[in-house]
Amino acid sequence: MIRAAFPYPRLTTELLPAPTWKLRVGTQDWTLLSQGLEHWDYTLPLELEALFDWNLQSALESVGLFADRIKLELSILGTTGYSASSGIRWVLYRELLDSSSTSSFSCHCLPDSGSLANQLVLTVQLTVHESSIPGVRAGSRLYEEKTTLNLEGVGGSFPIEVVSFSEIGLGSGLWYLCWNADDPEDSFLGTIVLYLNGESEIVQNAIISIQKSPVKDLMLADAINSFIQTAVCNPEFLEDGQNYPEESVGQVAMTWIRSLLGDESLDIIRQQIERDRGRFHTRIQAGILKLNQDS
């Protein structure tokens, strides 16, 4: 049997430290990815920078590989969605590296903001491009490290469309949650849309800014409140203890309900809504504000 390069020899994060990630949304200042995002807007470009403090030659020599007999390829993969099996995955960056390098370097990534949902997992891989070392073959993976960016609290995954309300008969409102789901197993992203009124200066300013604002918090709370009430008030739509498919309306609804309202039964929540919808809305607002502060 020919010894392959993975899982041995392997370059660990002790030899090649995890990169330092920075991010920038729109025209805002660069910040560390580890600090997270205050608010996420899918209409604004997201730029990422990875800073690598690597001594490749030394790392290769420490596992018995010779820099002059091997060529390496650096890849950065992006995965987004609710799960690895059903999410979107693409190559954000790929480049051949100088195996004898002893210097730090950086690279930039520009994921498609409109395709992002829930979170962005960044996977750094170092693979063998060419090798004259016996047993070390092209394609062997020598290094892998993952970093996750959560896009925003509980509300980052709402599909959003900016439209002219006067043209589609919605009057002068600021936002409207459109519900087209007939079954809890329907796709969330395919049946629920949050429409924003592009004619409103308030909405335009909220979209342009990525800073925290009462308007964004109010919009998110109102949309989630409408979504939860619509799902819960139909006793035949959601059921306690039911497992719904990933990314379905039922799965998203139950996730938000448990995040904001704890383990209360759907019957109790339904009674609270029927008794006082205003007080229930206030409770949802308080829960979302707390989650966004903690995220």
Residues 108 and 224 in one domain: no
Structure tokens at 169: 């008969």
Q: pTM score > 0.75 for this model?
A: no
Note whether 250 and 184 are within 8 A (CB).
yes
> Does residue 5 fall inside a structural domain?
no
User: Could you give the CA distance from residue 237 to residue 185 in angstroms, rounded to a whole number?
Assistant: 10
Pairing of strands 105-109, 88-97: unpaired
Residues 38 and 128 in one domain: yes
User: b vs e for 65-103, b when ≥16 Cβ sit within 10 Å of the residue's Cβ?
Assistant: bebeebbbbbbbbbbbbbeeeebeeeebbeeebebeeee
Residues 248 and 281 in one domain: yes
Residues 135 and 33 in one domain: yes
> Does residue 127 fall inside a structural domain?
yes
Neighbours of 137 (CB within 10 A): 15
> Does residue 207 fall inside a structural domain?
yes
> Does residue 57 fall inside a structural domain?
yes
Structure tokens at 24: 């920038």
Residues 216 and 243 in one domain: yes
End position of a domain, from candidates 120, 150, 180: 150
Q: Give the total number of structural domains in the chain.
A: 2
pLDDT along the chain (295 residues), means of 10: 52 91 89 75 86 94 88 93 68 94 93 82 92 84 88 58 85 84 82 84 66 69 88 84 82 86 88 92 82 59
Report in angstroms the alpha-carbon separations of 67 from 6, 7, 34, 60: 17, 19, 32, 7
Residue recorded with tokens 């993952």 = 146
End-to-end CA distance of the chain: 49
> Does residue 172 fall inside a structural domain?
yes
Residues 234 and 123 in one domain: no
Residue 75 belongs to domain with CATH number: 2.60.40
Residues 98 and 128 in one domain: yes
DSSP type of residue 81: S
Q: What is the pLDDT of residues 164-215, one digit of tens each?
A: 888 888 888 888 888 887 888 888 877 888 888 888 887 777 665 545 566 7
Residues 127 and 169 in one domain: no
Report in angstroms the alpha-carbon separations of 114 from 27, 86, 117, 121, 219: 17, 17, 8, 16, 19
DSSP type of residue 17: P
Residues 168 and 272 in one domain: yes
Local structure of 87: helix, strand or coil: coil
Residues 34 and 109 in one domain: yes
Q: In which domain, by residue range, is 62 found?
A: 20-150
> Does residue 97 fall inside a structural domain?
yes
Hey, which residues does 72 pair with through a beta bridge? Answer: 97, 128
Q: Tell me what pLDDT residue 219 has.
A: 80
Residues 59 and 41 in one domain: yes
Q: Tell me what pLDDT residue 40 has.
A: 67
